[in-house]
Amino acid sequence: MATLNPTPIEDPTCGVELQPLSRYLWPRWWPAWIAAGIIRAVSALPLAAVRPLAAVLGRLAFGLALRDRKTTLINLRLAYPTLSPSEVRRRAIGHFESLAYSLWETGLVWYGAAERLRKISRLEGVEHLHAAAAAGKGVLLLGAHFTTNEIAAAILPQAGLPCDVMYKRSRNALIEQLALHGRLGKGGRMVPSDKFVEMLKTLKRGGIALYAPDQRFDGDGYVVVPLFGVPALSNPGTTFIARATRCAVLPFFPERLDDGSGYVVRIGAPLENFPSGDGARDVARYHGLIEAATEQAPAQYLWSYKRFRPAKGQPDPYRRGALRGVS
């Protein structure tokens, strides 16, 4: 069987300076430290105890986080216009419970033993990675923003398949440092989005990269393509990456299992005839994959993000009073 060319991890932070956390002891950083302490404490809980705790914390957050609650309700109303108000509210509460669950998942990745993660997760479709290697190609794992992303990004290195993971740098320097320290030594490489070219080098070398371009994009070359039936400013970057590196593009979606037993991350077969030569068509295909994955776990997509904010001058569904009955 052909072998993949894993990303070298001599530089696991891709040039981002890993600073001693002792530099962040001033009072301005205390809120982030408190959040990190909560995440670490919660991560010590067994999996069986997390669901009831997440239900309590999620419902509490739904009642208190008014801005995020409104965004979630608006997104669900837009994406599922035929649902009753009570069902939209039920799904929104489920999303907040999923967000609360993700605190434990973050702590498990940052602070937990690798063996804990291996015991409760499985990776499906690894054969597609090896097939891509046999063809001499790099592999772009095409993901999206689900509340389980911290787990998803950690599973590949845990399975002995290190990869580049693209991320957007935090405006809070301590949060970024905590994340880098927490992920260090897990076998992959964190690539900030401002070092996009490093990911291209990895793919040209025959390595693996994880990329999730599903958030709002209004930069050069953006396209407007429906997502859940709603016009969405979108990033056609996957088309450029696939053309520039001749990599295989494989769907990559995580799911927290409803029975509470753990997680599965599914790697799909390489997309055929991709790129098509039409960026908007490629994005539409990608959005279809997201919609199908969301149907498997509706609460786990990132509904609390203002995904459908339009271009300047267009009606904004998030402005006050834009949708009646949402609060």
Domains in the chain: boundaries: 29-300
pLDDT score for 188: 78
Binned at pLDDT 50, 70 and 90, residue 187 comes out as low
Contact (CB, 8 A) for 190 and 14 = yes
Alpha helices in the chain (DSSP H): 30-43, 47-64, 66-79, 85-111, 114-119, 126-134, 149-158, 173-183, 196-204, 237-245, 279-296
- The residue behind tokens 């109303």 is 77
What percent of the chain lies above the pLDDT cut of 90? 76
Instruction: Tell me what pLDDT residue 3 has.
Output: 47
Residue 317 or 13, more confident: 317
Amino acid residing at 9: I
Q: Are 72 and 304 in contact (CB under 8 A)?
A: yes
H helices, E strands: number in the chain: 11, 9
- pTM: predicted TM-score of the whole model, two decimal places: 0.92
Return the amino acid letter for 75. Answer: N
User: For residue 136, which of 241, 2, 8, 271 has the smallest C-alpha distance?
Assistant: 2
Q: Which residue has the tokens 């006050």?
A: 320
Q: Tell me what percent of the residues of the chain surpass a pLDDT of 70.
A: 94
Summarize pLDDT for 145-171 with one digit per residue, the tens: 999 999 988 888 766 777 899 988 899
* Residue with more model confidence, 16 or 180: 180
Taking a C-beta distance cutoff of 8 angstroms, is the pair 123, 267 a contact? yes
- d(C-alpha 76, C-alpha 56), whole Å: 22
| Cis peptide, bond prior to residue 275, ω within 30 of zero | yes
Q: Can you read off the two tokens belonging to residue 302? A: 């990132």
Give dist(CA 221, CA 138) in Å, integer: 25
Q: What is the per-residue burial (b if ≥16 Cβ within 10 Å, else e) of 2-15?
A: eebebbeeeebbbe
Q: What is the mean pLDDT of residues 244-257?
A: 96
User: Tokens 């390595």 map to which residue?
Assistant: 207
